[in-house]
Amino acid sequence: AETWESVPLAPPDAIYKLTYAYKDDTYPQKVNLGVGAYRDDNNKPWILPVVKKATERLLQDPNLDHEYLPITGLPEFTSAGARLVLGPDSPALLEGRVSSVQTISGTGANHLGALFLSRFYQWEEGVQKVAYVSDPTWVNHFQIFRGVGIELKTYPYYDPATIGLAFEKYLAFLKAAPRRSVFVMHACAHNPTGVDPTREQWTQIADVVLERAHYVFFDCAYQGFASGDLDNDAWAVREFVKRGAPLLICQSFAKNAGLYGERVGALHIIPPDGERAQSAGARSASGLFEEWKVDIKTMAERIIAMRKELHRLLTEELKTPGNWDHIVNQIGMFR
């Protein structure tokens, strides 16, 4: 027992604590604004009809077994994941530059991506490894990166005065950071602010990233879930890939497939043109893709409609003083 006496108790997770308190609360009109999970009009988790259908198909599949998969996961799953985020005609895919690994959802992808960089990125010799995250960011980034020996510092992102993006400061920070710095960026529906750069701003961010030879660690946990359109939400990632920025993508299917507990995710590593990927390395939903897109739209449209309704209630109905436009300008489930 002595061996483990010095192990500190992990601090309780604030969001999970809130979830348990919520479950115990008997107030009939209670609303849980803690954990980021989609709820339907009855405040219930929503099983996507397409997921139900796929599950039924799987159960009837006589060839389904529970054998080991290859070390990097189910190839049909990881390559479909790569096509989904990069687009089917992505030059990186066509040139075979993408290395993909199945991971334990987006969290596992973040961990593996951070570990990969910690071990193999060309860090400056003899200096503490540092990566940069937005201020604020998904809180788990801190434990994940620090756990693999990378110190995390923040770059300016959210401007409380405008309830929007601190774009000039963000850009200036990117320019001033040491060359070849690692930047963690949320692909869309930034957690926890709901504030995303516009396409024009993303283009300028890409300019500086290329100029300064920075490395982009894309965390993509909400593809399709933000706007209702998978391609639209992957725009920034695809733009960076097209322009040859070195990057990796952490992909989660928790939100866009409503598979929170199954832990379905992937890590995709994409070196720039000319550097061929050394191989760094879920089961079939084929034929159901179009149905899945409809379900994603259902969720995104409900979120957008809820934002509009809240905005309407605050402004027209309650005539609440102040400007509430950020509620409709922000994207996704947050803020």
Stretch that binds ligand PLP, among 67-75, 100-108, 162-170, 299-307 (CB under 6 A): 100-108
Smallest gap, in angstroms, from Cβ of residue 218 to ligand PLP? 10
Instruction: Using CB under 6 A, pick the residue from 105, 181, 227, 330 that binds ligand PLP.
Output: 105
Instruction: Using CB under 6 A, pick the residue from 81, 106, 113, 224 that binds ligand PLP.
Output: 106
Q: Which is nearer to ligand PLP, 180 or 263 (CB)?
A: 263
Q: Which is nearer to ligand PLP, 16 or 211 (CB)?
A: 16
Q: Which of residues 122-151 bind ligand PLP (CB under 6 A)?
A: 138
Q: What is the DSSP letter of 3?
A: G
Q: Which is nearer to ligand PLP, 147 or 287 (CB)?
A: 147
Contact (CB, 8 A) for 101 and 279: no
Number of residues that bind ligand PLP (CB under 6 A): 13
User: What does the alpha-carbon distance between residue 267 and residue 197 come to, in Å, rounded to a whole number?
Assistant: 23
Instruction: Using CB under 6 A, pick the residue from 252, 282, 299, 333 that binds ligand PLP.
Output: 252
Contact (CB, 8 A) for 35 and 139: no
Q: Would you put residue 224 in left (φ > 0), alpha (ψ -120 to 50) or beta?
A: left
Residue 52: exposure state from Cβ atoms within 10 A (0-12, 13-18, ≥19): exposed
Instruction: Using CB under 6 A, pick the residue from 99, 163, 184, 186 that binds ligand PLP.
Output: 186
Residues 259-298: x/- map of binding to ligand PLP (CB under 6 A)?
A: ------x---------------------------------
User: What does the alpha-carbon distance between residue 218 and residue 208 come to, in Å, rounded to a whole number?
Assistant: 16
Instruction: Using CB under 6 A, pick the residue from 100, 145, 193, 219 that binds ligand PLP.
Output: 219
Q: Which is nearer to ligand PLP, 81 or 106 (CB)?
A: 106
Smallest gap, in angstroms, from Cβ of residue 171 to ligand PLP? 21
Q: What is the DSSP letter of 292?
A: H
Instruction: Using CB under 6 A, pick the residue from 165, 188, 208, 221 that binds ligand PLP.
Output: 221
For residue 140, count other CB atoms closer than 10 A to its CB.
14
Please list, in sequence order, all residues whose beta carbon lies within 8 angstroms of the beta carbon of residue 60, skipping any fewer than 6 positions away: none
Q: What is the DSSP letter of 184?
A: E
Q: Which is nearer to ligand PLP, 97 or 190 (CB)?
A: 190
Residue 72: exposure state from Cβ atoms within 10 A (0-12, 13-18, ≥19): middle
The C-alpha angle with vertex 291 and arms to 109 and 79, in degrees rounded to 5, equals 35
Q: Kindly state the tokens that stand for 217.
A: 């660690």
Interaction between residue 223 and ligand PLP (CB under 6 A): no
Residue reference for tokens 């993408």 = 98
Q: What is the DSSP letter of 244?
A: T
Q: Which is nearer to ligand PLP, 84 or 221 (CB)?
A: 221
Instruction: Using CB under 6 A, pick the residue from 191, 193, 227, 330 that binds ligand PLP.
Output: 191
Instruction: Using CB under 6 A, pick the residue from 174, 254, 266, 327 that binds ligand PLP.
Output: 254
User: What does the alpha-carbon distance between residue 242 and residue 95 come to, in Å, rounded to a whole number?
Assistant: 12
Residues in contact with ligand PLP by the rule CB under 6 A: 36, 105-107, 110, 138, 186, 191, 219, 221, 252, 254, 265
